[in-house]
Amino acid sequence: MRRLLTYATVLFVAMAGTVTVAQKVMNPDQLDATMKRISAANGAAQKAVKSEAFADARTQVGIVKQALMDAKNFWEMNKKDDAIQISDDAITGITAVEEALSAGSPTVENVMAAYKQVFGSCTACHNQYRVQNDDMTYSLRPGAI
């Protein structure tokens, strides 16, 4: 049964990745929507990690990674080299989280340690390119591009 669940999860992630590949971010509204997708999936991933539901966490981390890759397109189109580097760092960090989750015996401590690099990238981008709105959401800082 566990093997079936694993195969179903892998298939779902592969299909979700195929659908999201074409969703490159082209404008600030799409960037904001992608960031919201990252926030939701990241929150779900961390909750799953803390509950030791590592298969669920892997699915959510895959969503985060794809969304980060989609968002990188926005910075490339706008020729923001520092934001591209932050995106690359975030993608590298989330890849490390994927690897920690795929280890033979993942632990909450190891996965959360891998998350530290991702958090640093998120903070760097938010400090430079994002602004917090009155409703506690974030959007592109005016004049950022």
Top CATH class of 2-140 equals mainly alpha
Residue 7, exposed/middle/buried by CB under 10 A (0-12, 13-18, 19+)?
exposed
Radius of gyration of the chain (CA): 16
Domain ranges within the chain, ordered by starting residue: 2-140
What pLDDT, on a 0 to 100 scale, did the predictor assign at position 24? 87
Q: What is the pLDDT of residues 74-106, one digit of tens each?
A: 999 999 999 999 999 999 999 999 999 999 999
* pTM for the predicted model, two decimal places: 0.81
